[in-house]
Amino acid sequence: MTSTETPGFEVDPALYSNLAGSQVNVELDTGDMILNLGPQHPATHGTLRLVVRLDGERVVAADPVIGYMHRGYEKLSEFRTYPQITTLINRIDWLSSFANEVPFVHGAEQLMGIEAPPRAQWIRTILTELSRIATIYLFLGEMGLQVGALTPAFWGFRDRELVLNLIESATGGRFHPNFNRIGGLKDDLPWGWIAECRTTMDKILRGCDDFEDVLVGNEIFEARTRGIGIIPGELGAAYGVSGANLRASGIDWDLRRDGKPYLAYPELDFKVWTHSDGDSFARYWVRLQETREAVRMVIQLLDGLPAGPIMAKVPRIIKVPEGEVWVETENPLGQMGYYIVSKGATGPFRVKIRSASFSNVSILPWLLRGVYVPDVITIMGSLYFILGDIDR
Amino acid sequence: MGLVEKGVFGKKPLKPVTWLLNYSRKYSLWMFQWGLACCAIEMGAALASPRYDMMRLGVIPFPASPRQADLVVISGTVTDKMAPAIKRLYEQMPDPKYVISMGSCANCGGPYWDSYSVTKGVDQVIPVDIYIPGCPPRPEALLEAIVMLQERIQNEGLGNDELAQRWRGEHVVVDNAYMAARV
Amino acid sequence: MADETPDTPDTPDASADDAVTDASAVAVEEVPAIDPAVAALFERFEAALGDGVVDHADSFGTLVVRVKPDAWKRAAEVARADLDCDYLSFISGIDWMPAPKPAGDEGGDTSAPVQPDTMTFGVTGSDGRLQVFAHVQSTTRHWGVTIKTDVADPAPTVDSWVSVYPGADWHERECWEMYGVDFSGHPKIRHLYLPGEFEGNPLRKDFALLAREVKPWPGLVDVEPMPGDDTEEGDS
Ligand code: SF4
Rounded CA-CA distance C219/C217 in Å is 5
Decide if C236 is inside a domain. no
State the pLDDT at residue B69. Answer: 83
C15 within domain boundaries: no
Residue C94 amino acid letter: I
Average model confidence (pLDDT) for chain C? 71
Q: Which residue has a Cα nearest atom 3 of ligand 1? A: B136
Tell me what pLDDT residue A53 has.
77
The finding on whether B38 has its CB within 6 A of some atom of ligand 1 is yes
| pLDDT given at position A30 | 46
A95 CB neighbours in chain B (<8 A) are: 41
pLDDT at B45 over 60: yes
Q: Of A279, A284, A298, A154, nearest to A227 (Cα)? A: A279
**What is the Cα–Cα distance from A21 to A391, expressed in whole angstroms?**
33
Would residue C47 count as lying in a domain?
A: yes
Residue A119 has pLDDT above 80, yes or no: yes
Q: How far is the CA of B134 from the centre of ligand 1 (A)?
A: 8
Q: Is C180 part of a structural domain of the chain?
A: yes
pLDDT at B1: 47
Q: Specify if C99 maps to a domain.
A: yes
Residue A213 to residues A52, A64, A103, A288, Cα–Cα distance (Å):
34, 34, 36, 12
Residue B36 with chain A: CB contacts under 8 Å? 46-47, 68-69
Highest-pLDDT range among A2-11, A26-35, B76-85: B76-85
What is d(CA B107, CA B74) in angstroms, rounded to the nearest whole number?
A: 9
Q: Dihedral angle at the C-alpha atoms of C67, C72, C73, C75, nearest 10 degrees?
A: 20
The pLDDT of residue A276 is above 80: yes
Query: Is the predicted pLDDT of residue C108 greater than 80, yes or no?
Result: no
* Domain-located, residue C187: yes
Chains A and B form CB pairs within 8 A to the count of 88
Domains, chain A, in order of start with CATH, read 72-211+225-360 (1.10.645.10)
Q: What is the pLDDT of residue A74?
A: 86
Give yes or no for a cis peptide into A315 (omega within 30° of 0): no
- Contact (CB, 8 A) for A48 and A387: yes
Given a cut of 80, whether residue A225 has pLDDT beyond it is yes
pLDDT band for B10, please (50, 70, 90 cuts). Answer: low
> Interface partners of A (3+ CB pairs, < 8 Å)?
B, C
**Residue C113 to residue A321, Cβ atoms within 8 A:** no
Kindly report the number of other CB atoms within 10 A of residue B6's CB atom.
Answer: 9
> Among A149-153, A166-170, B168-172, C166-170, which stretch is predicted with the lowest mean pLDDT?
B168-172
* Domain around C74: 33-214
Please check whether residue C60 touches A, CB under 8 A: yes
Number of domains chain C is built from: 1
Poorest-pLDDT segment among A178-192, A240-254, A320-334, C221-235: C221-235
Other C-beta atoms lying within 10 Å of the C-beta of residue B11:
8
pLDDT per residue over C28-53, tens digit each? 444 456 677 777 777 777 777 777 77
Q: Which residue of B has its CA nearest to A97?
A: B38
CA gap A375, A368 in Å, rounded:
9
pLDDT band (50, 70, 90) for residue B6: low
Q: Is residue C17 in a domain?
A: no
Angle at A160 between CA A157 and CA A165, to 5 degrees: 125
Q: Mind listing the pLDDT tens digit for each residue in B48-86?
A: 777 787 888 888 777 777 788 888 888 888 888 888 888
pLDDT of residue A230: 86
pLDDT at C137: 87
Chain A CB contacts of C29 under 8 Å are: 111, 321-323
Does pLDDT of A9 surpass 70? no
Size of interface B-C (CB pairs under 8 A): 21
| Minimum-distance CB partner of A87 among B81, B111, B118 | B111
Q: Can you give the pLDDT at residue C227?
A: 55
For residue C236, is pLDDT > 50? no
Q: Is the CB of B76 under 6 A from ligand 1?
A: yes
Distance CA C182, CA C173 (A): 9
For position A142, what pLDDT does the model report? 80
Residue A88 confidence class, pLDDT cut points 50, 70, 90 = confident
Please indicate, yes or no, if residue C9 is contained in any of the structural domains.
no
> Which residues on adjacent β-strands are paired with residue A341?
A324, A350
Looking up residue C120, the CATH number of its domain turns out to be 3.30.460.80
Q: In angstroms, rounded to a whole number, what is the distance separating the alpha carbons of residues B148 and B153?
A: 9
What pLDDT, on a 0 to 100 scale, did the predictor assign at position C6?
43
Which of A9, A11, A112 comes nearest C27 by C-beta? A112
pLDDT at C235 over 70: no
Confidence of residue C130 (pLDDT cuts 50, 70, 90): confident
Which of A135, A131, A126, A130 lies closest to A189, judged by CA? A126
10 Å CB burial of residue A181 (0-12, 13-18, 19+) is buried
